[in-house]
Amino acid sequence: MKVSQTLAGSVSSVLFLSMMTLSAGLALAEHGDEGGVQLKAKMVSGTASGKASYQESGNRRRLNLEAANLPNATQSLKAVFVNGVWVGNVTFAACPAPAQQLLCGAMDLNTQEGQAVPVVTGGQTVQIGLSPAILAGTF
């Protein structure tokens, strides 16, 4: 009886420490080398792909979005949303060779350049276009 109680206590302690270590690791994954937050999102739909990154350090924030290989029928200007809220527009143009029949585009928002950049947290969505979204991902 005493052995099983001791064993149960040891297993509980190990599980608790494992959960605490995992939680600390997840929390640190969002923080960059200088204590800032860094989040990334991948976006894929058919042959089209994109990525978004968010960095925050002190009162500085930056949101970068890139999209490539979109069908040529895509409008040249599309709205970008974070968690359903408009944050800016991305302009599409012909991709570099050899994919010139497809469209590529990028958007970079930076508070250091006087631009409005939303505060982004893990689990929020980023999407190009709203209804329907051409590309979407989760930070």
Q: Which domain holds residue 103?
A: 37-138
Q: What pTM was computed for the model? A: 0.72
Among 47, 89, 90, which residue's Cα sits nearest to residue 70? 47
Q: Do 48 and 9 belong to one domain?
A: no
Report the pLDDT averaged over residues 114-128. 97
- What's the structural domain count of the chain? 2
Q: Do 23 and 90 belong to one domain?
A: no
pLDDT computed for residue 11 by the predictor: 32
Q: Do 83 and 17 belong to one domain?
A: no
Work out the mean pLDDT of the chain and round it to a whole number: 80
pLDDT computed for residue 114 by the predictor: 97
pLDDT computed for residue 1 by the predictor: 52
CATH number at residue 111: 2.60.40
Q: Do 121 and 73 belong to one domain?
A: yes
DSSP characters for 78-126?
Answer: EEEEETTEEEEEEEEEEPSTT-TTSEEEEEEEEGGGT-------TT-EE
- Is residue 30 predicted with pLDDT exceeding 80? no
Q: Do 78 and 122 belong to one domain?
A: yes
Q: Do 69 and 120 belong to one domain?
A: yes
Q: Do 64 and 103 belong to one domain?
A: yes
- The count of other CB atoms within 10 Å of the CB of residue 42 is 11
> Among residues of the chain, what percentage have pLDDT more than 90?
59
Report the pLDDT averaged over residues 8-33. 36
